[in-house]
Structure 1
């Protein structure tokens, strides 16, 4: 029996409506699926609770009430203060689910049939890995869908995604290797059935993300950040001088906004140390790569360091050393306007030391990381993050508003 989360994230409803925004359409689709899979009348409070459980966030009561009121005209019945699907809408969704089930069976027979694992377990695992895949690559998939070219995006970290997907199953190591290999074949293959299934998962995932994004934007008043100090994490500092990074074009625009809001930018000594260590490791990594591969192969890489090195016409280890000589120190400005300063004093260093050695905090951080990545985070990175968090709480208590500015944290020392 699939969980509600699995059902909601593996079935996309083709819903025609006159709602004005795509985020409202997405929320409407989620309401209909909750009523369908719940298979019983539900109060507005119950529907709201189920949605918030799935998206891990709050839903505006009045917005939900408005959506249900509009659905009453065609798709939903209301009786005894509870909502239920009309027979016509229930039959409509059931037909879509049957189409989805048939599509899953075809894909499983084509790619995941040669195994001793039960069909039910393979299906449950496949649904889980597809959900995890689209949590990581939903927007890249949208690029593919709109460009009609599956080769435009290089899906990385599939092994990490597979490891996460196996966490709730007792598959043998041999089965895990085979399933991972077959999943890679599946996502890199191209036929109408695969494209249909990708669309189903991708659009269901995209709908959930739209709801979260809408709620997040509704809650934020940008003036609330005015006068705040941002503590820059290592992965932010590392990309500021990489002109070939994907986010490079956004840095100047972000700086303009931060400047308008009078936001200060700082970093901690512990971040400076991690930055230097990460840059030293990247230097050696790139030297090795440039020695081993020719330029034609290197140009296929998505690594922002490799692409920046190529942009700067680096051809050998001497060129790489010269590039990293300019990168080994933290930039003094975010781009051209806002200064970046180190925040340090004796009291703060003591707080950072205590946080870095807080085993309970590090365990919590590692649990979150492992849930996402499928394996443990390295201790040096955990030590840094625990120290950074402890320092932030201390600064908020004693010196005003501090927020950590962090892009997605990749492993800097893998």
Structure 2
């Protein structure tokens, strides 16, 4: 089965990890600091806090933003559940805003109609690797005193308006799952423009531990002393994973270029195929394409999905609208809330896209899809 996504692991990646195994630090060591600094350099110089997954990154970001009971988080339903569940776990009410009909990105007009003085965060998702319209979302959030959050699980390495992903919103979360644009096996990171929020993110992911003597409330202990002022969790990434990530970061530009080449090859081959809509790209945006999401028209998505899988092509569907999950249905969310997102979901099919995919394999995917259609 040709997978829809997979990691690209080089001998240099393997050597980087084995070097850590031969060294003194397996976790909370200097390679974590080096990885976080390299991420910071990539995303505009803002502090980056590495963590165990993209899901953890969202939980950390919402906690660092002070999200809690009585707050609202406005977000998209066209995403993996963690974009919403991280806020729900902290007691916030999730308010789902519809997406743009063509991009499946959070629609600023829908957000504008839903924000209130209870809105704590407006969380967009860079679906498929295409950054959302943060230039429009930011003033909407600012108007009600909310923060913007970019769930950039798909888009590290991309940019919009000449600014890199990580510099587009107040908070940015990243994912380093194997199918993503770079991997640490499992892993993620939070990027924060505000230094105080970044420090809260660091402490939350470090079990709440704090070692700043100027902030100690217990003053008579020795140099071993540390304190917890707010609850946190152990979401720390290891030196092993950070060594892997550092090696992968050196290849990120090449990964991005190959993903763009594959996307262009799909675009050229599928442009005039009936029964199909192709992904769009906004002017001024340089995506880091993570998915190639086509739309299968005439109510044939399931048929095409099953026939592609039967032909050995590992297509995927991204995503079921979040509020369709029973955990949200049980809270009273109902289908029909976001018609654009539901229409997109009914037609979406993700074709294979990963750096090691060959041109011959791309052509195989195209020929199989056209044959089925």
The two structures share one fold, judged by TM-score above 0.5 = no
Which gives a bigger RCO, structure 1 or 2 (Cα 8 Å, sep 6+)? 2
More helix by share: 1
Larger radius of gyration: 1
More strand by share: 2
Length-normalised TM-score, structure 2: 0.25
